[in-house]
């Protein structure tokens, strides 16, 4: 068995670059996925390269030989060095970045879209992807100042939804919102000045939720473009919710309406 | 101005211990709160001690002299050393731990309770406290294996809700659940085997939501005690939601029902 044992190996340096730098990922149009589950769920056509740790190779040899047409082995020390987790599972892949257009993200006949304005927390972004898939969101649009969806921590928090949730980075978020509005998609901004509570609107129609930055909410320019301001009514002294939580409450309200409007007794 | 300039100062060592060790916090029955906002929102009667950085003292001298009956100054280096954040704001307090009983947590005539079973992520726990206050939750019950609510990262993520949300650690979670049931509070377990969707139950009545561990969900023993299993219906290939997200969807569904049952058109 050949294995890479030095952290100064050129392949290792490249993997570390892909882990750490958005620019490196974007230049090669790839990203890293780590762990058995993320490996198993990956569409095979996007997997460019697979790396396993020596321990993984020894323990899971049959799995490895079976599953992987070709892979390289890294010594455990080198694997730990390239891994983004504290207790690496021993398998890491270089995958092709997704390529969606605004049209794909729009989502056909029942659009249910999330628009993210300068979201900064990698874990929040991943959690929004995961929750969005569960809530039946058809696509996610982000501006260029959002944290990188291909950040390893974000990828991990998506729990595999990265493979299935259409998304795109808009060069200009205002233009993307106009695009949605021209197609009859109603845009709702979660906003402290919302006149109506979020559950008073009808989300069975095509809809898009605009979600702002963790610290400062939506940019005024973006909030101004929304068809409606909605508010999540708050008890106690809470002024706002975490961005991922606010997005989740809205996405699942839309999901609830879309289910219950057809065949349910509504409490 | 006297200031502490050495990290080997006994007071500094104690602060670091209080930052890092649950046992140290529990022995003294105190916790640390950091930052201007967390300081301002703290009920004055729980603030035992206040420490400020030298820069904070110089810049905010009037504020400091005004607000603080007594405080100690730490050199900036020492302050950075005791701080739990990367960019410390320069103010840190030692506060008394809260003391609630199960009776306080039960929440009077309209109980809306969250029960957490072995929750492990400090950020998730803090976010649940913040969201719970916003959703009008009356109290939170945790088992002893849950992460410490007084963990500095958790305190930070509560965004001040730690001061206002009644909670307790139950020596025995099963006993605590029996206590709730005896008082006519219906217990709902978010569970993959839920027969009914979460929005088909009536949460205008006294209710408690049982939320499990991030990786494994509820312990079987605890899930078995629930009056009802409910499920959050999921699209795509998503098997479960992040614990804080699942809790938030349920808490805000209860809040929505409690608002809309009285005076609203329900879609």
Percent of chain A whose predicted confidence (pLDDT) is above 90: 82
Whether A258 contacts chain B with CB within 8 A: no
Q: What is the pLDDT of residues A79-90, one digit of tens each?
A: 999 999 999 999
For residues B190 and B230, is the Cβ–Cβ distance under 8 A?
yes
Q: pTM surpassing 0.95?
A: no
Interface test with B, best of A107, A256, A259, A260 (most B CBs within 10 A): A256
Angle between helices A243-263 and A122-135 (to 10 degrees): 0
* Residues of A (188-247) whose Cβ lies below 8 Å from B: 197, 199-202, 204, 232-238, 241-242, 244-245
Nearest neighbour of A199 by CB, restricted to B127, B197, B256: B256
* Residue of chain B nearest A201, judged by CA positions: B267
* Residue of chain A nearest B196, judged by CA positions: A264
| CA distances from residue B31 to A87, B34, B121, B164 in whole angstroms, order as listed | 30, 10, 18, 15
Token pair 């329900």 is found at: B266
Percent of chain A whose predicted confidence (pLDDT) is above 70: 95
Query: What gap in Å lies between CA B242 and CA A130, rounded to an integer?
Result: 8
pLDDT for A172: 95
pLDDT for A266: 44
Residue B147: how many other CB atoms lie within 10 Å: 20
Query: What gap in Å lies between CA B48 and CA B72, rounded to an integer?
Result: 12
Token pair 């950020």 is found at: B123
Query: What gap in Å lies between CA B124 and CA B134, rounded to an integer?
Result: 15
With CA atoms as reference, report the closest residue to B91 among B164, B171, B34, B172.
B34
Contacts of B61 (CB under 8 A, 6+ apart): none
* Residue of chain A nearest B240, judged by CA positions: A134
Whether A265 contacts chain B with CB within 8 A: yes
| Ramachandran sector of residue A19 (left: φ over 0; alpha: ψ -120 to 50; beta: rest) | alpha
pLDDT for A63: 66
| CA distances from residue B96 to B15, B17, B43, B50, B150 in whole angstroms, order as listed | 14, 16, 10, 12, 11
Tokens for A103, please give them. 């049209």
For residue B197, count CB atoms less than 10 angstroms from its CB and return exposed for 0-12, middle for 13-18, buried for 19 or more.
middle
* Three state DSSP letters for B178-192: HHHHHCCCEEEEECC
With CA atoms as reference, report the closest residue to A210 among A176, A260, A160.
A176
Chain A residues close to B245, C-beta within 8 Å: 127, 131, 244-245, 248
Q: What is the pLDDT of residues A185-196, one digit of tens each?
A: 999 998 888 889
Q: How far is A77 from chain B (nearest CA, A)?
A: 27
B266 strand-pairing partners: none
Q: What is the pLDDT of residues A32-82, one digit of tens each?
A: 999 999 999 999 999 999 999 999 999 887 766 666 668 899 999 999 999
Chain B residues close to A259, C-beta within 8 Å: 197, 199, 233
pLDDT for A64: 62
Q: What is the pLDDT along chain B (267 residues), one digit of tens a residue?
A: 789 999 999 999 999 999 999 999 999 999 999 999 999 999 999 999 999 999 999 988 776 666 666 889 999 999 999 999 999 999 999 999 999 988 888 877 899 999 999 999 999 999 999 999 999 999 999 999 999 999 999 999 999 999 999 999 999 999 999 999 999 999 999 888 888 999 999 999 999 999 999 888 999 999 999 999 999 999 999 999 999 999 999 999 999 999 987 654 444
Query: What gap in Å lies between CA A248 and CA A109, rounded to an integer?
Result: 22
Across A237-255, average pLDDT: 96
Contacts of A254 (CB under 8 A, 6+ apart): A112, A135, A136, A203, A207, A209
Query: What gap in Å lies between CA B256 and CA A197, rounded to an integer?
Result: 10
DSSP H or E run through A231: strand A228-231
């Amino acid at each position: 068995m050949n294995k890479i044992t030095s952290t100064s190996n050129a392949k290792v340096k490249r993997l570390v670059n892909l882990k750490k730098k958005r620019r490196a990922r974007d230049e090669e149009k790839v990203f890293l996925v780590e762990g058995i589950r993320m490996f198993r769920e990956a569409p095979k056509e996007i997997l460019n390269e697979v790396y396993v740790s020596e321990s993984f190779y020894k323990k899971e040899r049959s799995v490895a030989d079976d599953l992987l047409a070709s892979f390289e082995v890294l010594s455990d020390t080198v694997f730990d060095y390239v891994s983004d987790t504290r207790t690496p599972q021993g398998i890491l892949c270089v995958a092709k970045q997704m390529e969606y257009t605004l049209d794909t993200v729009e989502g056909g006949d029942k659009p249910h879209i999330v628009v993210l304005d300068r979201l900064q927390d990698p874990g929040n972004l991943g959690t929004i992807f995961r929750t969005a898939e569960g809530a039946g969101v058809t696509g996610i649009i982000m501006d260029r100042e959002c944290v990188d969806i291909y950040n390893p921590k974000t990828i991990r928090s998506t729990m595999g939804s990265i493979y299935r949730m259409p998304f795109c980075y808009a060069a200009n978020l205002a233009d993307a919102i106009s695009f949605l509005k021209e197609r009859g998609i109603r845009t709702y901004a979660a906003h402290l000045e919302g006149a109506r509570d979020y559950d008073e609107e009808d989300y069975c129609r095509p809809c898009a939720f605009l979600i702002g930055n963790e610290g400062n909410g939506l940019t005024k320019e973006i909030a101004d473009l929304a068809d409606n301001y909605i508010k999540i009514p708050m008890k106690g002294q809470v002024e706002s919710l975490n961005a991922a939580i606010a997005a989740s409450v809205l996405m699942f309200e839309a999901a609830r309406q879309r289910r219950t409007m057809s065949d349910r007794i509504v409490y």
